[in-house]
Amino acid sequence: MAAYGVGLLEIETARDRIADVVSATPMVASPSLSTRANQPVSIKFECKQRTGSFKLRGATNAVRALSQDARAAGVVGVSTGNHGRGLAYAARSAGARCIVCMSELVPENKVRGIEAEGAEVRTVGRSQDEAEVEAKRLIAEHGMTYLPPFDHADVIAGQGTLGLEILEQAPEATTILCPLSGGGLISGVALAAKAIRPDLRIIGVSMARGAAMHASQEAGRPIEIEELPTLADSLGGGIGLDNRYTFAIVRDLVDEIVLLSEEEIAAAIRHTYWEEREIIEGSGSVAIGAVLAGKVALDGPAVLLVTGRNIDMALHHRIAGGEVPEV
Ligand SMILES: *Cc1c(COP(=O)(O)O)cnc(C)c1O
């Protein structure tokens, strides 16, 4: 697997490197989804990870892989969401400075969420692009290191530790369903899982509204598509026209990509609340949504990866009550 610049060895190294920060999250059998799918279905509740999402794994591995000097200079991220939170926590745990750049339009609660994990937030300009200009300035003028959310070997290796954990907790699984955006998570999971169990099926799930990786795979190369508002907001954004890792790994190792409507995402959040009794965000719910919608045929025990829980609680309340809110 060295062909991709990251593989099982790097994932095993990552597991040791992040063990004191990252918790092993619960794997729970779901009787209701098992009945529906006619196969044993388990849910991997990675939403219970510290900072509320798996992003902590990749960020912690990437920060700890830096040299002493680079760590002392600090890290920069551009994120309003789970990557920002994970990076902030990862940097603090390594004693590194962390600045997260975002646009002035980002809601105050998101800014506070990232500050609460220990990062400095810098709000500049009125768009993500302007936030990126500020990040580049920090890198050039202060020697800080930019850490991206998915297309980075150490980030992918960190997310891959989730693949190892799933295989240990559910060795009988024949299929893993995994939320998919830029593909750092599914790349790591697929590299780990297929190195150990080449026959395991890996299925990616995205929202239909703005699925950049799916569109890129169809086109045969990374392409840009319009970003649309969706209940799966952590799955938005492109994969980068200069994508180095995740496009090729998804092309080679992911067996299928399934797309969900907003109604199907809302149904998954609702099901998880009423039947599984857990609060999860839209992006975290899509693997459950794919099974609920009958969009995957299972040929044996399946693991559904739930990736995050950082949802606005007023929005969650409306969805749990039966709405499919326009966002
Ligand atoms: C980032 C994120 C994803 C997608 O991860 P990628 O590595 O970009 O594919 C899925 N779910 C949640 C909750 C996330 O924060």
Task: Write the DSSP assignment of 267-300 as a string of letters.
Answer: HHHHHHHHTS-----HHHHHHHHHHHTT-S--SS
Assess whether the C-beta atom of 308 lies below 6 angstroms from ligand 1.
Answer: yes
Both tokens of 122, joined, read 């810098």
Sheet holding 256-260, edge to edge: 27-29, 41-45, 302-306, 175-179, 201-207, 256-260
Residue identifier of the C-alpha nearest atom 13 of ligand 1: 308
Assess whether the C-beta atom of 179 lies below 6 angstroms from ligand 1.
Answer: yes
Integer-rounded Cα radius of gyration of the chain: 18
Assess whether the C-beta atom of 243 lies below 6 angstroms from ligand 1.
Answer: no
- DSSP character at residue 50: G
CA of 182 to the centre of ligand 1 (A): 7
Q: Which amino acid is at 291?
A: V
CA of 225 to the centre of ligand 1 (A): 18
Burial class (CB in 10 A: 0-12, 13-18, 19+), 289: buried
CA of 31 to the centre of ligand 1 (A): 26
Please list the pLDDT of the chain residue by residue as tens digits (327 residues): 458 999 999 999 999 999 999 999 999 999 999 999 999 999 999 999 999 999 999 999 999 999 999 999 999 999 989 999 999 999 999 999 999 999 888 888 889 989 999 999 999 988 888 898 999 999 999 999 999 999 999 999 999 999 999 999 999 999 999 999 999 999 999 999 999 999 999 999 999 999 999 999 999 999 999 989 999 999 999 999 999 999 999 999 999 999 999 999 999 999 999 999 999 999 999 999 999 999 999 999 999 999 999 999 999 999 999 999 998
